[in-house]
Structure 1
Amino acid sequence: MKVAIPVEGQQLSAHFGYCEGFNIYVIENNKVASKEYLKSPEHQPGLLPRLLGQHGINVVIAGGMGSKAQELFRHNNIEVLTGAAGNADEIVEEFIKGNIVSSGEVCNNHDHHDDCGEDH
């Protein structure tokens, strides 16, 4: 299984669509088998779900994400878990333990329009 977490440094990025990049974790036998970093491409609507799908991602763990982005991820067979915050490595460990449950948080009206992936 591959899990992607949008990051700024080692912290989960509050602005999914404009994050610096993604920590990608390969999980095998309930442990992180490997971790890599994927730099985010220049912002383009609809790109991130396709890009992460091409990298074989099964799950994206985010803080918040727009409903359109969540729909695009579902169309790429990628599960979206929202409502997370904190250090990305700690988040993935909690995910492995089964402690990450999606809040269903959808970003809609923000001062930072589209930053949470509304049009991704």
Structure 2
Amino acid sequence: MKIAVATERGMVCPHFGHCEGFTIYETEGKDVKSSSFVESPGHRPGFLPVFLHEQGVNVIIAGGMGAGAIEIFDEKGIEVVTGASGSTKDIVNQYVQGELKSSGSICNEHQHAGECGGH
């Protein structure tokens, strides 16, 4: 399985669309086999979910995410986990151990700017 974590300086980025990139972890069962970092190709509506789908991602983890991105991930069959914070390594380990649950945190950039990293 491939798990992408929206990343900002080794930590889970508070807002999916504004991260510097994605740490992509390859897992097998409860074991993390490898990780790599992919720079964000830029934030354009609807683009990043398609980009991550093309990378073969099965799960995306972020602090918060807009409803439009969540909808596209759902259409692509990619699990969305929001409300995460901390180091990407700790978060992915929590996920594979079954200890990380999505808060369902949906960002609406203009209404909730403070909740999504101030963007």
How high is the TM-score relative to the length of structure 2?
0.90
The answer to whether 1:70 aligns with 2:70 is yes
Aligned residues: 115
SS at match of 2:44: coil
2:113 corresponds to? 111
1:14 corresponds to? 14
For the structure 1 residues 33 and 107, does the alpha-carbon distance in structure 2 shift closer, same or farther, using more than 3 Å as the test? same
**Alignment RMSD:** 1.8
Distance 1:115 1:11 in 2: 13
Distance 2:67 2:101 in 1: 17
What residue identity is the alignment partner of 1:65? M
The alpha carbon displacement at 1:115 in A equals 7.7
Structure 1, unmatched stretches of 5+, are none
The alpha carbon displacement at 1:58 in A equals 0.3
2:83 corresponds to? 83
Structure 1 segments, 4+ long, off by >6 Å, are none
Identity %: 45
2:96 corresponds to? 96
Distance 1:115 1:9 in 2: 14
How high is the TM-score relative to the length of structure 1?
0.89
1:48 corresponds to? 48
Between stretches 18-27 and 37-46, larger displacement belongs to 37-46
Structure 2, unmatched stretches of 5+, are none
